[in-house]
Structure 1
Amino acid sequence: MSISVPTWGDIPLTNPPTPEQLYQMQTHLDLVLLASEALIGVDADMLLQATLDLDISTSLVEKAQLWSNRNKTTDQNPIHSFNVEQLRSLILVICYVNQRHQELIRRAVTLLEQVTAQNKNPAQTTLLGNYLNNFQNFYGNNPDNSKLSPDQQVKLASKLLIDLLFYSGDRGYDRLWLALLDYKS
């Protein structure tokens, strides 16, 4: 499976985001990483291999800290120190990894649709139960994230799971980049 670096990676933004917009973009991307890690089990080796496959600097992976490795007392989100160009590269890496696990993402989304249509609890299925448990454990490790109730966390996890389906498809990096740019409007 190959992915080419899109042309937008070389085009500068004509209207760069404000610091607040950049923070919002970084937060959204970090949540996408959280969902990927919770479902797929993304680890540093997977991210490193993706950077090598895409010919992106491996220092990007060193700078991005996985949710499972974050310290509960650390309130600094590592992705919040990224600039726009680094965010673009990280988008490529995250979408590449998700694309390689697209079948698992499809199964999870299909299962979510089925249990939702049947008014059943998604956490009672193995695949979704593991995903939701991982998501809530990783999310709860960050002291800044205590604002959401467990029900709200499940809704967020479900929304992000569906988003992963779009980001794992063809041109998923474009979709994610456009979603992040929505924070500029």
Structure 2
Amino acid sequence: MVMTSTVNLPSSVPNWENLPLTNTPTPQQLALIQTHIDLMLLALESLIPIDQDMLLQAALDLEINSTLTETVTLWSNRADNGEEILLTTLSVEQTRSLILIICYIAGKYQELIRRAVTLLEQMTAQNKDPAKVTLLGNYLQKFHEFYQIAMIATKLIELPQPKKLASKLLVDLLFYSVENGHRRLWLALLDYTH
């Protein structure tokens, strides 16, 4: 059973003013930003059963051009189809739209993400393997499967401990699931690429 957050989302739709663009990212910076966003989408999809309809509904809720959702290939689809692509190269506007969508979906599932992070912290504090807890075990297994696809598709470096990346991204999802999380993520990504 999937739990959704009972927290009320802000009534105002996030807008571009919340995602400042003082300097347009260079193509190299935009590529780095998109890679990070794709990894966040990978983590989100490893925890939550996302499908194209959910992406489309989020775009409609946020009043974003829904053609973006046709551009984004979810990791489960990539696994099923054996696709060897990451994200299609996105424009700055599409990239910012995808950030809004990811943070919006994370906000809707904030309770589940918080539960997973709390379990992760408890297991780490007790020096126990997080994979022994069903919720985290399922998340880590899917993350590992999707990350293997990403390595083949994009020649990402194989990590000796992919659990660390999975854990970090899970905490990031919680951090960016809050109101104005999309703004925090955008500013962090701009800072990360400079």
Aligned equivalent of 1:100, options 84, 95, 108: 108
> Which residue pairs with 1:148 in the alignment?
158
> Which residue pairs with 1:26 in the alignment?
34
Between the aligned partners of 2:187 and 2:118, the Cα distance in structure 1 is 24
> Which residue pairs with 2:56 in the alignment?
48
Aligned equivalent of 1:120, options 101, 109, 128: 128
> How much does 1:61 deviate?
0.4
Amino acid at match of 1:36: L
TM-score, scaled relative to structure 1 = 0.91
1:17-96 to 2 correspondence within 5 Å?
Answer: 17-70=25-78, 74-79=83-88, 81-96=89-104
Between the aligned partners of 2:122 and 2:69, the Cα distance in structure 1 is 36
Please list every run of at least 4 consecutive aligned residues from structure 1 whose deviation after the TM superposition is greater than 3 angstroms: 71-75
> Which residue pairs with 1:164 in the alignment?
173
**2:75 touches 2:146 (CA, 8 Å); kept in 1?**
yes
Between the aligned partners of 2:12 and 2:140, the Cα distance in structure 1 is 29
> Which residue pairs with 2:147 in the alignment?
139
> How much does 1:145 deviate?
5.0
Between the aligned partners of 1:108 and 1:21, the Cα distance in structure 2 is 31
> How much does 1:25 deviate?
0.3
Amino acid at match of 2:69: V
**2:19 touches 2:187 (CA, 8 Å); kept in 1?**
no
Between the aligned partners of 1:10 and 1:156, the Cα distance in structure 2 is 26
- Match of 2:185, SS state, is helix
**1:9 touches 1:89 (CA, 8 Å); kept in 2?**
no
More helix per residue: 1
Between the aligned partners of 1:112 and 1:30, the Cα distance in structure 2 is 22
TM-score, scaled relative to structure 2 = 0.87
Amino acid at match of 1:147: I
**2:58 touches 2:104 (CA, 8 Å); kept in 1?**
yes
The unaligned stretches of length 5 or more in structure 2 are 1-8
Amino acid at match of 2:118: T
The unaligned stretches of length 5 or more in structure 1 are none
Q: CA RMSD in A?
A: 1.8
Amino acid at match of 1:179: A
Inter-CA distance 113–145: structure 2 relative to 1 (3 Å threshold)? farther
Between the aligned partners of 2:181 and 2:104, the Cα distance in structure 1 is 9
**Count of residue pairs brought into register by the alignment:** 182
**% same residue:** 57
List per-residue Cα deviations over 1:154-180 (Å, max 9, x = no partner). Answer: 100000000000111111101111121
**1:35 touches 1:135 (CA, 8 Å); kept in 2?**
yes
**1:109 touches 1:161 (CA, 8 Å); kept in 2?**
yes
